[in-house]
Amino acid sequence: MITLSRRAVLASALLPLSAAMEPARAQSAPDFGKVAPPIFSALAKANDIPGLVVGITRNGQHEILAIGSTARKDGRPVDGSTLFELGSVSKTFIVALAALAAERGRLDLNAPLENVAQRLTGTPFGALTPIDLATHATGGMPLQLPDGIRNEKELVEWLAAWKPAASPATRRAYSNVSIGVLSLVTATALGTSFTRAAQRDLFPLLGLDSTYIDVPEDAMARYAMGYTKADKPARLTPSLLGPEAYGVKSTALDMLTFLDANMGVGTVAPDMARALARTHTGYFETASYVQEMIWERYPWPVGRDRLLAGNSLDMAMKPQPITRLDPPSPPAPASFINKTGSTNGFGTYAVMLPAEKLGVIVLANRNYPNEERVKAVYALVEGLLGGAG
């Protein structure tokens, strides 16, 4: 089943002046309802995805394409309110919370972690900063915690003994450990737990009413069942640092609201707006993109091959050289900003083109290759903008 829906989320009076002054362009823009279905129907079929939801925001106007169902057996049709696991796209919320703590004077993003985690004083890990963790510039933190670490006490003991595997000028892309610890450090600075800080403060401040770490009972019927690459049913199971590193569940409609906030569309509290802008500061340059706080920034326009290289498995799993930007690069509107995320049973892709006030979210209840996500979204952007460069 394929369904399309549209939700106008902002009155024109709330749009930035540049967007409000472009009605002719908006009216003449290619139709999402025509461009998207053939691209994403083919994507879902080729990757045997049970349920796929694609959403776009253009100048604050939201449109949704929904294909398939929440489960292979006895599922309901997916839609803009279906809950999906975000995987590593969760990390974009983690850095937003860290930046918000900085805005409120509770966390210094450039100070050693040992200032907050005194038990790590005098250790290589304690000498790292929150920015190091948010940009993967740790000198080689592992992707996952070693086996046998069962609680926070054992985690701190392991961190205290950890030594960099490489130069600080080496990036390890998907270290769930470093980002998970950033969550814990931020929560400590705020005097609460990460889950409580996210669910009671961050998500409401962003205007998100269907984004969770712990999905409440009354929302479970909207929570899709995920499917592994081997087509086995799968949802996240409890694990140390899981909620803190990759545990957010959300809907296409909420994610479009989040992308809007990141692009300065709509209204959020001033400290939240400043925090989101901080997350789009560029700190390091890789072979393919500028590393913001978790988000990855490419120049716009950008070629598809460069995007594929930046989102490749090698980029995620192998150490990569990085060059520190001094001074850091301020947010750049003429950019293609993206982040992929996966759990065992889900695949996510989030994209923003701030200069175009265009955002795209793709949520699927199957783990499938990043390459396929990039190709599909690139084709969509080309179709909507008339060529991507």
- Extract long-range pairs of 116-123: CB within 8 Å, 24+ residues apart: 116/185, 116/188, 116/189, 117/156, 117/185, 117/188, 119/156, 119/160, 120/156, 120/159, 120/160, 123/159, 123/160, 123/161, 123/162
Instruction: Give the domain ranges of the chain.
Output: 2-97+193-385
Which residues are part of the catalytic machinery?
A: 88, 174
* Distance in angstroms (rounded) separating the CA atoms of residues 333 and 245: 27
Right CATH number for 2-97+193-385 from 1.10.287.950, 3.40.710.10, 3.40.50.10490, 3.40.50.300? Answer: 3.40.710.10
Tokens of 223: 């929570």
Residue-level pLDDT, tens digit, the chain, 389 residues? 666 665 433 322 222 323 322 333 334 568 999 999 999 999 999 999 999 999 999 999 999 999 999 999 999 999 999 999 999 999 999 999 999 999 999 999 999 999 999 999 999 999 999 999 999 998 888 889 999 999 999 999 999 999 987 665 665 556 899 999 999 999 999 999 999 999 999 999 999 999 999 999 999 999 999 999 999 999 999 999 999 999 999 999 999 999 999 999 999 999 999 999 999 999 999 999 999 999 999 999 999 999 999 999 988 888 888 899 999 999 999 999 999 999 999 999 999 999 999 999 999 999 999 999 999 999 999 999 986 55
Q: Specify the amino acid at residue 32.
A: F
Token pair 């955002």 in the structure block, residue? 359
Assess whether the previous peptide bond of 327 is cis (omega < 30° from 0): yes
* Neighbouring C-beta atoms of residue 201, cutoff 10 Å: 16
Distance CA 304, CA 13 (A): 35
